[in-house]
C-alpha cells in the first residue's frame, strides 16, 4: 500500500503522486481506488488498489538503483547492425513497448541504451525517435525525483553517461 502524497511510478506514463483514496460502488461492491496525479502531465487517473501489482505500479527506485542504471547505460548496447533493418523495426517496436509497459527500470534503461546505440549507426525513423523520447522522459522523471534535480539536469546526466562511454569505453564511469 502507498500513502497519500507518496510519489510512485505508473508504467508507461511516469511518476505520479497519490492524491487520495476514493471508494466507489462498482456492480454492488465497494472498491478502493488510488487517485494518481502525474507530476509532468495534466492527467489524473483512478486505479483500483487491488490491481496495483498487475498494473505494474511500483515505488520510486532507490538512489543505488538509479546509480546502477547509469552504470548500465555505460555498457555497450547489445543490438547488432544486422538487427537495424526496417523489417525488424516492427518486431523491435513491439518488444520495446512491452518493456516500457512493464515499468521495470532496467528494461526501460536497456531500451534507451539500445535506441541511442542505433542512432549512432543510422538515422532513427519517426517511430524510433518517438520511442527514444518516451524512454528518455520516463528515465529522466524518475531520476529527477529521486536525485531532487530538475528534469533537464536528469536528461543531461543520462546523455553524458552515453557520451563518456563512446569516448572512453574502458574507463570507470562516475555516477555521482
Report the pLDDT value the prediction gives residue 93, as an integer from 0 to 100.
87
Report the pLDDT value the prediction gives residue 5, as an integer from 0 to 100.
97
- Residue pLDDT, tens place only, 22-54: 999 999 999 999 999 999 889 999 999 999 998
Identify the bridge partners of residue 25 per DSSP, sorted by sequence position.
30
If DSSP states are collapsed to H, E and C, what string results for 25-45?
Answer: EECCEEEEEEEEEECCCCCEE
Give the DSSP letter of residue 172. P
Cell numbers found for residue 49: 488498489
- Residue pLDDT, tens place only, 99-136: 998 889 999 999 999 899 888 888 888 989 999 999 99
Place of cell 555505460: 74
Cell numbers found for residue 157: 546526466
Does the predicted TM-score (pTM) go above 0.85? no
80 — pLDDT class (breaks 50, 70, 90): low
* Domain positions in the chain: 7-59, 63-167
pLDDT of 56 higher than 50? yes
Q: Are 81 and 121 a contacting pair, CB within 8 Å? A: yes
CATH no. for 7-59: 2.40.10.170
84 — pLDDT class (breaks 50, 70, 90): low
Report the pLDDT value the prediction gives residue 174, as an integer from 0 to 100.
45
User: Does the domain formed by 63-167 have CATH 1.20.58.1290?
Assistant: yes
Dist. CA 5–CA 131, nearest whole Å: 29
Report the pLDDT value the prediction gives residue 170, as an integer from 0 to 100.
43
Nearest one of 75, 40, 57 to 154, comparing CA atoms? 40
Give the DSSP letter of residue 85. S
What's the mean per-residue pLDDT of the chain?
86
Report the pLDDT value the prediction gives residue 175, as an integer from 0 to 100.
45
Dist. CA 105–CA 139, nearest whole Å: 8
Crossing angle of helices 126-147 and 63-73, rounded to 10°: 150
Amino acid at each position: 500500500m502507498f500513502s497519500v502524497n507518496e510519489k510512485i511510478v505508473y508504467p508507461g506514463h511516469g511518476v505520479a503522486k497519490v492524491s487520495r483514496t476514493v471508494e466507489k460502488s462498482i456492480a454492488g461492491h465497494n472498491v478502493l481506488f488510488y487517485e494518481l496525479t502525474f507530476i509532468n502531465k495534466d492527467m489524473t487517473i483512478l486505479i483500483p488498489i487491488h490491481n496495483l501489482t498487475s498494473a505494474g505500479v511500483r515505488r520510486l527506485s532507490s538512489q543505488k538503483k538509479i546509480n546502477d542504471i547509469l552504470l548500465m547505460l555505460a555498457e555497450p548496447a547489445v543490438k547488432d547492425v544486422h538487427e537495424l533493418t526496417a523489417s525488424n523495426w516492427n518486431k523491435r517496436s513491439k518488444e520495446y513497448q512491452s518493456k516500457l509497459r512493464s515499468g521495470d527500470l532496467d528494461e526501460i534503461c536497456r531500451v534507451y541504451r539500445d535506441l541511442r546505440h542505433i542512432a549512432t549507426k543510422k538515422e532513427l525513423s519517426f517511430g524510433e525517435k518517438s520511442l527514444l523520447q518516451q524512454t528518455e522522459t520516463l528515465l529522466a522523471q524518475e531520476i529527477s525525483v529521486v536525485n531532487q534535480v530538475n528534469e533537464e539536469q536528469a536528461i543531461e546526466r543520462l546523455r553524458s553517461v552515453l557520451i563518456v562511454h563512446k569516448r572512453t569505453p574502458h574507463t570507470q564511469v562516475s555516477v555521482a
